[in-house]
């Protein structure tokens, strides 16, 4: 199963890189999201995957059982997901505004810095 | 999406989803859930409502600008963080009331912190989505 | 003591509030502040006189061994008195000089910042703090030189001074770090104890080499001297204060301070003697041919600094005594000359020495000050300068070897310097008063009293050397000598001997030179012809080549196209990853460790794969966003399969929101256009395939490494016992790592505010249209 995940992670990263190399701003953001997902899965996988044992303590116990999914990567990813939402929304709005002001979403036409934005 | 069914459904969905989000928030310490998810569910509830009834309707239900939630959330979280300092404990040290409360379980500073997170998430999401809807 | 050092910075800060008042009525009163500091340092006289030294330590960064430790001995005291004393006079002088200048408050701010840094520099016992203050003086000097920020030339000079002294400062830092590592301490007082060990260490040459570059750039020694004449673009009070009396002496201070620790080796003494003599002769000859008063003074200052380096290089007790006296002598007469130059410039509007004469008819007190300074500069008895010059000749005559070469060099320098001093101090005040200057009048007393005071001090100390020999000079010299206990007695009259003969020759030759050689533009032009070969032009040429290369380099890498930046970064990353992976690791997969596969999982993975490909390849934005949503939901399934319910829930709701967001915004964006051509698509495709593959391989490699479970173990065991929660992920978020989460929600709040303000701003600008 890990092998499949490894493949998916590579795919997400590759697709993300391809997208951020495009000239369109929207594609750039899509690329960022894809890479973000890839990174989340990467962290998740590196904490080792465990089936059917979430990091919840049984109602009659005080500590986690013998086998449990690692809670640290989960906490990290949870934070990452929420933060990346903030980042994405900011980026999307930036794109929208840039498009309105410059009149294009072609990155190559956004080179000049001196234009009155 | 201005169908009658969607409109009337959303009117009932809003309180239901909000209740659900609070439930998710409160059980977060023991079972899957917590401030982040709870907050997101609450904001989705509001967004569904605004999609069906228009932004103005939702605003009038909410009564105030979502930015207020942002501020309130940060304040609650910060306060729960510094409250231990009043009794000479370090920042963010967990404080708990002695006896558990039915349904919620133990009440402590961590719970208030989670409530703060919940409020901030709702505030952030709604601020973003509302501003965008407004300016389009 | 800490407050004394920091007060300069505090004053500079307070000008933000009090600036208005300072600019107007308060200006003459600012000088009281350095005056108070002067009084404070004078109060240490009795202790220093007894040969004591005082130490004050405040911890700053204890983990790095950086302390704010201050050490006050004779050497520091002399500098502190110069800094605050001349500082006070300059402050008073500035008030009328820059009267009603719009940035007068700023000027005082920079000056007091400089004063604070300079005090810190000479008082620091810790070599890292010393470096910090050293750089602070460079920075404040940058602001002061570039004070007339509307003139391009003054900006350029400021840049040049900053780059020279700043680069020198970096060398100093390197030297200090090596020294600290070798000596095992960053405190000068401790390092002094291990002087022998340092001198025998293999890195000794590095230490002094780097130290020399630092000191030479700061003190304008050949071949780094050229920034100083350029720095004369600064207002005259700055030239007086920084570029003759204090800052340029920081390099001298440094050499003097480290003499007992690093001195008395062939390398130390040899280098200093050679560089010092080249500088003093080279600059003195230059000074003779200048027409601009400030130019004359700049070169004669460089020359005087050369003399000091030379004397420290000689390193005998006699020479060090001469250096100690000469520091004071030079500060007194050179500051005077600078100040009167400022007055002349201020009142007549010119600094061309060939045009100035007879000014004593209109500004007599200034003339007296000038003549007093010129006398002290020339070393005519009974001035303090005479004492100083005698000591210099005594030092060269008392050296072990090459007595006549050294004395000859000193003689030549002194003759030229005397000529330069006469040009600056006497020439403008004697002879016929040109008609154009008949209406020139005496400026405010705040301007002419300081030079007169300094000029007279040069005479007072000459007539009564007992005022300072035992009390100050002795302590200064002993701070420069290892375990020094020299008894100093200064005398004006030494009887008829070789020294007196040399002094006589100097005076006679100086007078003859002054009588016969008249300043003219022709001569100056002749010396300027050699400019092409001067270190300044060479450095400029080198700088030109550098900036040309950097332009090409920047143009290539920073071409303004985002994707090329990305390509460069990614290619680099790909290469080092690939190199590391193929060079040092063996790829294998441990099939025993893998978890099993079920149909649902495979299905989810296949969906992700297809959705990703569809996102990349589709030509419709809406389809791309939709399939992005599919990717997110499928990842949510993956989280669900592998025991992460919290993640699944969060991913689900976030994904919903992202799609809503995209759909809301995307209506207003243009359709996808086919922007890139086939070739770049193929190129990017290859890059991304390689990058993705490398990430996969990397992941496989990491999976082979064992996992450290200690931290997780801690959370697993303590989540309930310590934090009373059973959902460990949630407990980590809200309790164990609560502070992180708090910062995170703050970031979120900032993102929301950013979105809000971006859109509201947009509204406003469209309203304008």
Distance (Å) from the alpha carbon of B114 to chain A's nearest alpha carbon: 13
Check residue A34 and give its pLDDT: 92
Token duo for residue C553: 């380099």
Distance (Å) from the alpha carbon of A36 to chain C's nearest alpha carbon: 11
pLDDT at B45 over 80: yes
Please name the member of A56, A78, A93 whose beta carbon is closest to the beta carbon of B36. Answer: A78
Contact A54 B36 (CB under 8 A): no
Check residue B99 and give its pLDDT: 64
Check residue A117 and give its pLDDT: 39
DSSP states along C68-132: EEEEE-HHHHHHHHHHHHHHHHHHHHHHHHTTT-TTHHHHHHHHHHHHHHHHHHHHB-BHHHHHH
Q: How far apart are CA C318 and CA A20, in angstroms?
A: 73
Please name the member of B31, B32, B124 whose beta carbon is closest to the beta carbon of A86. Answer: B124
Token duo for residue A83: 């933060």
Number of domains observed in the structure of chain A: 1
Check residue C74 and give its pLDDT: 84
Dihedral angle sign, alpha carbons of residues A24, A25, A30, A33: positive
pLDDT tens digits, residue range A90-112? 888 887 777 777 776 676 666 55
Contact C745 B133 (CB under 8 A): no
**Domain chopping of chain C, boundaries:** 143-534, 562-709
Instruction: Work out the average pLDDT over B36-40.
Output: 90
Closest CA to B120 of B68, B82, B60, B59: B68
Interface mutation vs chain C, best among A18, A99, A116, most C CBs within 10 Å: A18
Please name the member of C692, C728, C754 whose beta carbon is closest to the beta carbon of A57. Answer: C728
Residues of A in contact with B32 (CB under 8 A): 54, 56
Please give the interface size between B and C, counted as residue pairs whose CB atoms are below 8 Å apart.
140
Q: How far apart are CA C535 and CA C541, in angstroms?
A: 10
Q: How far apart are CA C77 and CA C41, in angstroms?
A: 7
Q: By the CB < 8 Å criterion, does C667 face chain B?
A: yes
Q: Answer whether residue A14 is part of any domain.
A: yes
Grouping H, G, I as helix, E, B as strand and the rest as coil, residue C265 is: coil
CA-based nearest residue in chain C for residue A41: C635
Contact C715 A77 (CB under 8 A): no
Residue reference for tokens 């004063």:
C115
Which domain covers residue A16, as residue numbers?
Answer: 2-52+67-108
Contact C752 B34 (CB under 8 A): no
Ranges under pLDDT 70 in chain C:
22, 64-66, 484, 492, 494-495, 519-536, 585, 587, 590-593, 667-676, 761-769
- 3-state SS of A55-113? CECCCCCCCCCCCCCCHHHHHHHHHHHHHHHHHHHHHHHHHHHHHHHHCCCEHHHHCCC
Question: Omega before C382 cis (within 30°)?
Answer: yes
- Predicted TM-score (pTM) of the model is 0.65
Residues 6+ positions from C123 with CB-CB distance below 8 Å: C1, C5, C70, C71, C72, C76, C80
Q: How far apart are CA A5 and CA C695, in angstroms?
A: 12
Q: How far apart are CA C99 and CA C93, in angstroms?
A: 10
Interface mutation vs chain A, best among C558, C599, C618, C644, most A CBs within 10 Å: C644
From the options 3.20.20, 1.10.3470, 1.20.120, 3.30.2000, give the CATH code of C562-709: 1.20.120
Token duo for residue A61: 């116990």
CATH number of the domain that A29 lies in?
1.10.287.3510
Residue reference for tokens 């000529």:
C419
Distance (Å) from the alpha carbon of C710 to chain B's nearest alpha carbon: 22
Contact C742 B81 (CB under 8 A): yes
Contact C748 A100 (CB under 8 A): no
Contact C696 A10 (CB under 8 A): yes
B90 backbone φψ class: left, alpha, beta (φ>0; ψ -120 to 50): beta
How big is chain A, counted in residues? 117
pLDDT tens digits, residue range C225-267? 888 887 787 788 888 888 777 888 888 999 998 888 888 888 8
Closest CA to A21 of A107, A95, A97: A107
**Domain chopping of chain B, boundaries:** 4-135
Token duo for residue C711: 């931290």
Q: Answer whether residue A57 is part of any domain.
A: no
Which chains border A (3 or more CB–CB pairs < 8 Å)? B, C
Check residue C768 and give its pLDDT: 46
Q: Answer whether residue A93 is part of any domain.
A: yes
User: Which residues does residue C57 pair with via DSSP β-bridges, in sequence order?
Assistant: C69
User: Which residues does residue C66 pair with via DSSP β-bridges, in sequence order?
Assistant: C61
Check residue A37 and give its pLDDT: 92
Please name the member of C654, C724, C745 whose beta carbon is closest to the beta carbon of B73. Answer: C745
């Amino acid at each position: 199963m890990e092998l499949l995940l490894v493949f998916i992670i590579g795919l997400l990263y590759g697709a993300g890189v391809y997208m951020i190399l495009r000239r369109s701003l929207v594609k750039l953001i899509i690329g960022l999201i894809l890479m973000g997902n890839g990174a989340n899965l990467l962290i998740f996988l590196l904490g080792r995957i465990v089936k059917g044992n979430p990091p919840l303590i049984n109602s009659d116990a005080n500590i986690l059982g013998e086998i449990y999914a690692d809670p640290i990567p989960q906490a990290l990813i949870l934070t990452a997901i929420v933060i990346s939402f903030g980042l994405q929304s900011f980026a999307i709005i930036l794109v929208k505004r840039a498009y309105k002001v410059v009149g294009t979403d072609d990155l190559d036409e956004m080179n000049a810095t001196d234009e009155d934005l | 999406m201005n169908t009658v069914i969607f409109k009337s459904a959303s009117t009932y969905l809003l309180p239901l989803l909000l209740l659900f989000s609070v439930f998710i928030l409160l059980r977060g310490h023991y079972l899957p859930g917590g401030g982040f998810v709870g907050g997101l569910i609450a904001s989705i509830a509001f967004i569904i409502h605004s999609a069906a009834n228009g932004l103005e309707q939702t605003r009038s239900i909410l009564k105030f600008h979502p930015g207020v939630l942002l501020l309130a959330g940060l304040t609650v979280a910060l306060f729960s963080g510094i409250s231990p300092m009043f009794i000479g404990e370090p920042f963010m040290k967990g404080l708990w009331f002695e006896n558990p409360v039915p349904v919620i379980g133990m009440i402590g500073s961590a719970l208030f912190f989670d409530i703060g997170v919940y409020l901030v998430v709702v505030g952030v999401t709604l601020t973003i989505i509302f501003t965008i809807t407004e300016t389009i | 003591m800490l407050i004394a050092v920091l007060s300069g910075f505090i004053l500079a800060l307070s000008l933000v509030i009090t600036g208005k008042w300072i600019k107007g009525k308060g200006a003459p009163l600012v000088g009281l502040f350095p005056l108070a500091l002067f009084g404070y340092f004078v109060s240490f006289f009795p202790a220093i006189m007894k040969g004591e030294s005082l130490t004050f330590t405040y911890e700053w960064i204890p983990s790095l061994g950086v302390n704010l430790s201050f050490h006050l001995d004779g050497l520091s005291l002399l500098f502190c008195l110069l800094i605050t004393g001349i500082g006070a006079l300059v402050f008073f002088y500035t008030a009328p000089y820059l009267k009603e200048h719009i940035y007068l408050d700023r000027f005082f701010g920079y000056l007091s910042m400089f004063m604070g840094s300079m005090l810190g520099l000479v008082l620091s016992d810790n070599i890292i703090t010393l470096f910090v203050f050293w750089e602070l003086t460079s920075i404040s000097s940058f602001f002061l030189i570039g004070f007339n920020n509307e003139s391009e030339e003054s900006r350029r000079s400021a840049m040049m001074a900053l780059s020279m002294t700043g680069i020198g400062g970096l060398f100093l830092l390197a030297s200090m770090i090596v020294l600290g590592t070798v000596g095992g301490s960053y405190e000068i007082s401790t390092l002094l104890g291990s002087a022998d060990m340092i001198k025998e260490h293999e890195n000794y040459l590095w230490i002094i080499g780097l130290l020399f570059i630092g000191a030479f750039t700061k003190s304008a020694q050949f071949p780094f001297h050229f920034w100083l004449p350029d720095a004369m673009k600064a207002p005259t009070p700055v030239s007086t204060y920084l570029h003759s009396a204090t800052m340029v002496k920081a390099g001298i201070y440094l050499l003097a301070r480290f003499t007992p620790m690093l001195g008395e080796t062939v390398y130390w003494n040899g280098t200093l003697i050679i560089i010092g003599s080249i500088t003093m002769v080279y600059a003195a000859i230059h000074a003779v041919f200048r027409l601009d008063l400030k130019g004359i003074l700049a070169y004669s200052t460089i020359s005087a600094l050369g003399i000091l380096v030379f004397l420290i290089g000689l390193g005998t007790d006699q020479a060090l005594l001469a250096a100690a006296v000469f520091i004071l002598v030079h500060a007194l007469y050179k500051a005077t000359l600078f100040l009167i130059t400022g007055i002349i410039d201020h009142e007549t509007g010119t600094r061309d020495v060939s045009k100035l004469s007879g000014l004593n008819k209109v500004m007599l007190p200034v003339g007296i000050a000038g003549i007093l300074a010129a006398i002290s500069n020339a070393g005519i008895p009974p001035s303090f300068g005479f004492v100083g010059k005698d000591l210099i000749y005594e030092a060269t005559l008392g050296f072990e070897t090459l007595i006549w070469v050294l004395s000859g060099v000193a003689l030549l320098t002194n003759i030229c310097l005397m000529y330069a001093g006469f040009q600056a101090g006497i020439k403008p005040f004697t002879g016929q008063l040109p008609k154009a200057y008949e209406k020139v009048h005496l400026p405010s007393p705040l301007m002419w009293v300081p030079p007169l005071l300094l000029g007279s001090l040069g005479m007072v100390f000459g007539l009564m050397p007992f005022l300072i020999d035992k009390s100050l000079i002795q302590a200064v010299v002993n701070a420069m000598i290892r375990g020094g206990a020299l008894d100093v007695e200064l005398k004006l009259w030494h009887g008829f001997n070789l020294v007196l003969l040399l002094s006589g020759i100097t005076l006679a030759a100086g007078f003859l030179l002054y009588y016969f050689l008249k300043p003219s533009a022709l001569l100056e032009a002749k010396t300027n012809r050699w400019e092409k070969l001067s270190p300044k032009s060479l450095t400029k040429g080198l700088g030109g080549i550098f900036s040309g290369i950097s332009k090409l380099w920047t143009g290539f890498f920073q071409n303004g196209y985002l994707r090329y930046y990305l390509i460069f970064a990614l290619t680099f990353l790909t290469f080092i990853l690939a190199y590391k992976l193929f060079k040092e690791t063996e790829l294998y997969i441990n099939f025993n460790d893998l978890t099993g596969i079920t149909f649902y999982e495979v299905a989810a993975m296949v969906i992700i794969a297809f959705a990703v490909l569809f996102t990349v390849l589709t030509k419709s934005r809406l389809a791309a966003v939709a399939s992005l949503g599919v990717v997110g939901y499928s990842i949510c399934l993956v989280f669900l399969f592998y025991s992460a319910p919290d993640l699944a829930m969060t991913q689900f709701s976030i994904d919903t929101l992202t799609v809503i967001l995209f759909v809301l915004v995307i209506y207003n964006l243009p359709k996808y256009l086919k922007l890139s051509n086939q070739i770049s698509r193929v190129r990017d495709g290859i890059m991304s395939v390689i990058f993705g593959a490398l990430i996969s391989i990397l992941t496989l490699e990491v999976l082979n490494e064992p996992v450290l479970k200690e931290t997780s173990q801690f959370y697993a065991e303590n989540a309930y016992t310590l934090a009373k929660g059973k959902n460990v992920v949630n407990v980590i978020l809200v309790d164990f790592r609560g502070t992180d989460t708090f910062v995170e929600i703050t970031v979120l709040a900032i993102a929301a505010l950013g979105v809000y303000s971006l859109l509201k701003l947009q509204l406003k600008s469209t309203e304008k249209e």
